[in-house]
């Protein structure tokens, strides 16, 4: 047996420093001024050689992407890590690249320049716009693993009408609905007048999480319907409007990672969208999340698998929709029955900040299994502790807010059981400053949700920027 800092080889096999078998070898020894060893890989293990050390690119800039970067960096399979465009937090995990998520050409150049072998697409917009297809159809990048569905499959999130039609065809439980366009505006008016209250209106396309309205009077619903269709309130996203049955219950988030045939179930979560405590006020991108959900027992889990997850995976395959990545099921539990409110084609934010910290598996290994169709060989290991995430936002959010405020306290070592993830931050003159509405997410562990939320809030109180706001009641119904 011989060894150096990079490789270990026995009489017939070559391993890298992570004990990954790179192939069967022949060893020849010859002498000149000194002894030289020539290693010839006779039967290389190409799969392991390719994945022994991976250069990885994350596309995105939020708290979700910082959490993914933090998790990937723990893997011995991760060599160099790049994030485009990233934030001040992701810069602590890897190298930020000043490339916007919509600039596919520059992302392709970065993939080639940095010899990227694995790409993880964080946000929905590039997926809906076809980033996975773009890399797959380019000769220079076609062999790079991409975690994210094809453009056609991403329509599960990109079009509410597409998602509803998919669910209807594959008999997946969801709220009753009807769709209207400007051409059927008058029919929509009559439909609303006869519809029981409350009435749910949804912009068909991507509307930055603001395209869903729950109207408690017919006058309000008619006014919003006009704004959406006739006055382009949500632009292109609102050219078609879905009017949906209101389901009363508890909303939860369920996540799977699929290779298109197999899937693994990740930890579930519950997020808190309203800006005010007690779930009051305007909708936001998310003010916090908790995991696990106390009432998410084996009976409910198996019902969700049987009636929602497995029919969805089978439907994607039947409809020939290429899907290698995350599916986020937004569910309503009404009367102990699960219904799909929406599909998302990526991880949620801030749910990622409680889901991935509870996942014990090597995330690079999971992504390789996803890309190579081997998720059926994976066993998921979950941290049984509870996790809570509390989001700190800029004053004025979700309305107008000011950027560029210095964040104090980040040099303090996080207290045991807590993690600090950056969302809207950037580095200016060697200082970390605010750069968005949602600025930071503090995740903490505890024996239960109450303890996790208390630890997280205490850690968050050690940080400060001018006009900072956060909800102090995350997980309130489980405390």
Q: What is the domain-level CATH number for residue 57?
A: 3.40.50.20
| DSSP label of 64 | H
Which CATH number covers residue 346?
Answer: 3.30.470.20
Whether residues 371 and 271 fall in one domain: yes
Report if residue 169 sits inside a domain: no
- Asked, for residue 407, whether it belongs to a domain, the answer is yes
Cα gap 225→189, rounded to integer Å: 8
- Per the listing, tokens 């009077």 go with 217
Q: Report, as ranges of residue numbers, the positions in the chain whose pLDDT lies below 50.
A: 1-11, 17-18, 20, 22, 25-47, 49-50
Q: Are residues 27 and 93 in the same domain?
A: no
Return the pLDDT at 29: 45
Number of domains in the chain: 5
In a domain, 166, yes or no: no
Q: 181 - beta bridge partners?
A: 240
Q: Give the model's pLDDT for residue 427.
A: 96
Q: Are residues 252 and 376 in the same domain?
A: yes
Do 357 and 258 lie in one domain? The reply is yes
d(CA 214, CA 200): 5
H/E run at residue 263: strand 263-265
Q: Find tokens 């390789």 and name the residue.
A: 368
Task: Please give the pLDDT value at position 433.
Answer: 98
If you count them, how many residues does the chain have? 479
Residue 22 exposure: Cα atoms within 13 Å on the Cβ side: 21
Query: If we measure between CA atoms, which residue out of 457, 153, 464 comes closest to residue 317?
Result: 153
Does residue 367 sit within a domain? yes
Q: CA 253 to CA 267: how far, in whole Å? A: 9
- CATH for 233: 3.30.1490.20
Placement of tokens 């298109």 in the chain:
260
**pLDDT, tens digit, for every residue of 170-218?**
999 999 999 999 999 999 999 999 999 999 999 999 987 778 899 999 9
Contact 287, 280 (CB under 8 A): no
305 lies in the same domain as 432: no
Instruction: Name the phi and psi angles at 458, rounded to 5.
Output: -65, -40
Same domain, 36 and 62: no
Q: The domain spanning residue 405 has which CATH number?
A: 3.90.600.10
CA 4 from chain centre, in angstroms, equals: 39
**Whether 350 and 263 share a structural domain:** yes
- Tell whether 163 is covered by a domain: no
14, 41 Cβ separation under 8 angstroms: yes
Report whether 350 contacts 158 (CB < 8 A): no
Amino acid 211: pLDDT: 87
Task: Residue 199: name the closest of 172, 183, 229, 219 by CA.
Answer: 219
Distance CA 422, CA 321 (A): 34
Let me know whether 264 and 358 are in one domain: yes
Positive or negative, the CA dihedral 307, 309, 312, 316 is negative
In a domain, 167, yes or no: no
467: how many CB neighbours lie within 10 A of its CB?
13
The pLDDT tens digits of the residues spanning 2-60 come to: 444 444 444 455 555 445 454 554 444 444 444 444 444 444 443 454 456 899 999 99
Same domain? For 473 and 397 the reply is yes
Domain of residue 221, residue span: 176-244
Indicate if 26 and 112 belong to the same structural domain. no
Nearest to 393 by CA among 460, 475, 473, 476: 460
Is the same domain home to 227 and 353? no
Q: 168 lies in a domain?
A: no
Kindly state whether residues 95 and 43 are assigned to the same domain: no
């Amino acid at each position: 047996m011989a060894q150096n800092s990079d490789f270990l080889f026995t009489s017939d096999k070559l391993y890298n420093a992570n004990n990954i078998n790179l192939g069967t070898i022949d060893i020849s020894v010859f002498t000149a001024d000194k002894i030289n060893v020539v290693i010839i890989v006779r039967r290389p293990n190409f799969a392991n050689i390719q994945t022994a050390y991976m250069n990885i690119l994350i596309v995105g800039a939020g708290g979700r992407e910082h959490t993914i970067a933090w998790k990937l960096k723990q893997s011995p399979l991760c060599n160099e890590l790049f994030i485009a465009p990233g934030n001040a937090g992701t810069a602590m995990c890897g190298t930020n690249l000043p490339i916007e998520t919509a600039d596919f050409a520059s992302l392709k150049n970065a993939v080639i320049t940095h010899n990227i072998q694995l790409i993880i697409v964080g946000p929905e917009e590039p997926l809906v716009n076809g980033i996975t297809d773009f890399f797959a159809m380019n000769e220079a990048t076609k062999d790079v693993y991409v975690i994210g569905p094809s453009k056609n499959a991403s329509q599960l999130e990109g079009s509410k009408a597409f998602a509803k039609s998919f669910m209807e065809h594959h008999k997946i439980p969801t709220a009753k609905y009807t769709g209207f366009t400007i051409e059927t505006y008058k029919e929509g008016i009559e439909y609303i007048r006869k519809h029981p209250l409350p009435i749910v209106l949804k912009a068909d396309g991507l509307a930055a999480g603001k395209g869903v309205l729950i109207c408690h009077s017919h006058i309000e619903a008619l006014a919003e319907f006009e704004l959406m269709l006739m006055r382009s309130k949500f632009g292109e996203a609102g050219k078609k409007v879905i009017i949906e049955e209101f389901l009363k219950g508890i909303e939860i988030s369920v996540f799977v990672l699929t290779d298109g045939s197999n899937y693994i179930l990740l930890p579930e979560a519950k997020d808190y969208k309203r800006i005010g405590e007690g779930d009051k006020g305007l909708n936001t991108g998310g003010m916090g999340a908790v995991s696990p959900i106390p009432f998410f027992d084996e009976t409910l889990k198996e019902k969700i698998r049987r009636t929602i997850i497995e029919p969805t995976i089978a439907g994607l395959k039947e409809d020939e929709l290429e899907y290698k990545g995350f599916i986020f099921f937004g569910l309503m539990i009404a009367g102990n029955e699960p219904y799909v409110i929406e599909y998302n084609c990526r991880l949620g934010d801030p749910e990622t900040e409680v889901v991935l910290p509870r996942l014990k598996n090597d995330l690079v290994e999971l992504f390789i299994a996803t890309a190579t169709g081997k998720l059926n060989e994976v066993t998921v290991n979950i941290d049984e502790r509870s996790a809570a995430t509390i989001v700190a936002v800029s004053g004025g959010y979700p309305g107008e807010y000011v950027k560029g405020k210095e964040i104090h306290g980040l040099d303090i070592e996080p207290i045991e059981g807590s993690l600090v993830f950056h969302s809207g931050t950037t580095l200016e003159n060697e200082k970390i400053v605010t750069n968005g509405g949602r600025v930071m997410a503090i995740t903490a562990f505890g024996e239960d949700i109450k303890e996790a939320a208390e630890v997280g809030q205490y850690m968050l109180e050690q940080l400060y920027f001018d006009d900072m706001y956060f909800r102090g009641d995350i997980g309130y119904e489980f405390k």
